[in-house]
Amino acid sequence: MGNDSDKCCKNNNSSHASGGAVYGLGFIGAAVYFISQAATFGAGLIGFLKAMVWPAFLVYEALKALGA
């Protein structure tokens, strides 16, 4: 019984790793974009902070476009 219950309760972490990779690449791309658009150090700092929360911007714009 111990072996069967262990098999059903183990998590498959492969999907978590790929999600982290996508977020990481998106973070790097967003950081490069936002920082390259900045004219001052303060704007670059704000750009870096925006890059950390880029998924929130993406979901917001997607929902706005869908009219939800």
Does the predicted model carry a pTM greater than 0.85? no
Crossing angle for the helix pair 54-66 and 14-36, to the nearest 10 degrees: 90
pLDDT at 5: 54
Do 48 and 34 form a contact (C-beta atoms < 8 A)? yes
Percent of the chain with pLDDT over 70: 75
pLDDT digits (tens, 9 = 90+) for 6-19: 555 565 555 567 77
Ranges of each domain in the chain: 13-66
Q: Residue 1 above 60 pLDDT?
A: no
> If you average pLDDT over every residue of the chain, what do you get?
81
pLDDT digits (tens, 9 = 90+) for 49-59: 989 988 888 88
Comparing C-alpha atoms, which of 33, 54, 57, 55 is closest to residue 43? 33
